[in-house]
Structures are given as C-alpha cells and as structure tokens.
Structure 1
C-alpha cells in the first residue's frame, strides 16, 4: 500500500474526510495513479492533486473512481456534497471586524490621547480591538454577533461530516438486519448477537445481519455490517472478541490476522477485498 503524504493542515475537515475515503477506496482497488488515469477521464497529475488535497475533487471524478473500483458512489457523493458547502469562517470574520475596529478607532483615538483626558475617549481605542471577546464591548451589534453565527455554523457542519463519515465506516443503514440502522445506539459493550448460519446466496456466505460486500469498516465503526464481519471472522476461526457490533481493537486485530492469512493488504480495515474473502 502506498505511503500517502499528510494532507494540508489548513484543509477543511469535510474535505479531509472525503479524501481519506477516496484514498482507501483506491488502495483497496490495487490501482496506481497511472492505471487510474487510464481508466478514467482524469490524468495522473490530476489524481495526484485530488488525493493529496491540492485541488478540490470534481463530483464526476468521485463517480468515476467509485465505478472503476466497483463501489457504490452514494456515500462518497454525500461527503462530496458537504465538502462543496463552504460554511462562514468565524475566525476570519472576527479578525476582519477587529481590524476594522482598530482602523476606525486608531485615528479617532490619537487626538484624545494627546490631550491627557483620563477615563473616557483616551482609554477607548486600545480596548476596542478586543471588544468582540469582552462583555462590555464597544460595538455590541458588530464583532460579537459574527463569531456566534460562525460558531453555530461550524457545529452544524462538523455534525454533518461526522454523520457521513460514520455511514462510510460503519456501513450506515445498508445492513441486512431487520432493524437496519435505527438501533445503532444499541451496538457495543453489553450487547451480543447470534451468528446464524443463513447458508449461501450466489456462492457467498451470510450470517443473517448484513448482505454488504463493500462497506468500509474501521476502528469504532458500529452497526449490522460490523456484526456480520465479526460472525464471518468467527466462522473462519479468527476471534474478534464479543460479537457486539462495535469494531474495536480485538476485531481489528482479528481482521489483520485474517488479511495476512489471505495475502491481502493487512491494514485492519474491512473493505471489498476483505469482504470477498470473508464471504467464502
């Protein structure tokens, strides 16, 4: 598996999540950048820029990568849609307001400071740039409101990104269990699930919890897809710990051992190649 460069620190979290999932999909496909370029409408250098966070990934490129790798593009496109929605930048807005405040008061405060008048106009200019962070700010209708709106927007975007990332890593509601994703909160310590032998369908083995063959599962993922993976690991003789639907360290260690035994990339992440072997 290639060693990826660290993504730029200034890259927004929603863009970072999208690129991480695209990198994983590419790695599991075994395709290099040149092969990817040959199979899509984008050059090798374009893919290098997209996957290293140097340039925004076009929606069409996301669809083509998923198609080439044999994956369902739906969840990737959810992340891409959120990556295109740029929220207000609270830090920038706050800084701009402070800079404006400084510029406005610097010239007006010079004359009173020279006069030696105490306590009123002479004291106001130095405190004005910080008024956005103090209760008795000089401009209650300006800088103090902008950071609040930006902070609320940031919270909403972070929640949306976390939700989409959770769908990608835990399998979302595509599991084959009767409850789907509606009881995701019940997965984890204190819960155990039976690994029923549901036989085979089209030559693939199923344990009755999920029919997925491509969901990406990584540490702390949860849901019916995780239960299915844990059951299949037990069937092959690899102990994932409790079959509780939470992808913890024990399950990841078992997956690594299973991947080594099947001569797969031993990264502990359940993806299409690992599912293909688990279903045997």
Structure 2
C-alpha cells in the first residue's frame, strides 16, 4: 500500500492514530504485504484494510506486528482499546449528511385556535438523563486526553533502531520450496534439509521449517503454505500432530516430534 495514500476523512481520531503508528512500523520494517502476511498469519488483503483505516485490526494482529518489529505492544493495545470503544459510536453518529429539504408553508391555524403563551413543561426525568450523559461524555474526553498524552510521550522517546538489509533495485521474492516426499531407510524425507532434526519453534524460518511443513502435509495436517515461516498456521498444525501422536503439545518440533514426523 503506498505510504502517501491518505486515511479516510471520517476515521475516528483514536483509530486514525493507531493506524498511523501501525503504518510507520510496517514502513520501518520494509516488509512487503506478502511478507507481513506470512510472518503474522493475517492475509495481505486484511493488512490492506487495517493499514487503510477501513477496519480495526484484531488484538493478535497488533501483537504480531509489534513482535516482528521489536516494538512494545502495550501502548498500541491501549490505543486499540480506545478505538474499539469509539469506533461504532463515531460511525453511528455520522453515517452521512442529511440532504437539504425545502421548508413547507406553515399550517394555517383554525380561526378559533388561540396560541398559548404558556411555556412547555420539561419532560419528567429528562434533566437527570442529560446530566448523566454529559458526565459520561466528560469522563470519556478526559480518558482520551490522558491516553493521547501518554502516547505522545512515548513518541518523544528515542525509537528502537530496526536494522534492515540494504534495499536492492527490485525486492527479492520470498524463497519457494518443493516437497519431494521419499522414503529413505524407513524414514520419510521431503528432500529439503538433508534429514536434520534441528529444534524449531514459532517465529523460526528456513529450510528446517519448510521440511517440517512438507512432512506435516504428508501426515494429513495442513500447515498453510510451504514458505519456510513458522507462523500461526504452522504452529497450529504442529500442536495438532503432537496431540495425535501422543506427544507433549508444546508447539516445538524437537527430536521426538521429528522422529514421529519421519516415522
């Protein structure tokens, strides 16, 4: 998504600030939408909606982006909670502008009708309700102001430096892996990591992850794509396999899990 694309004018202020901060994290990381989707488990189209201000990202998506960019997720999650509270009310209050109407001529009074000079009596219970609504609105404004001040102080702090590899003239495509399932000496192999049993877990990448993804697919459990990224889908597949094989369900592929996969 281009950095210069403006956010919708009707976007709630809290949601606008959250979206702007998520955009900055994505730009500093120099990840493409496809790479961001692979590392967080949320599709590229979902991230286009989140970073375009069209919908609020789930809590897990915010935590995933903070994790892969080395950012403290607490301020982002606090701002998201405010945006969740105000998102629906803001859109309900301003769905669209009402079209102008042509004033109609006043209805003539009956000759015997005499206008009353007596002021209308207030509706019983209306004043307490108005006072309560005003108090709630004042409290919401105070909480929003305090949160914005906290976020501003957080922005003033020195940001964490994210070291990224030098950019080339054209972004290199993510590596692709091909599963070549064979049976060698009674053990299954996908022909990617030369039979290694290196311990891997959530967040790891590379040929060992791709080998495990191929063997999980051979076992009838889908890990998502064979992309060499140990993301949420691969984690779920590993836990499902460990449970089926009677192993400790910890989501980490160690020697016992590798042995069961290759068995």
TM range (shorter): 0.3 to 0.5
TM-score by length of 1: 0.44
Structure whose CA Rg is larger: 2
| Greater share of helix | 1
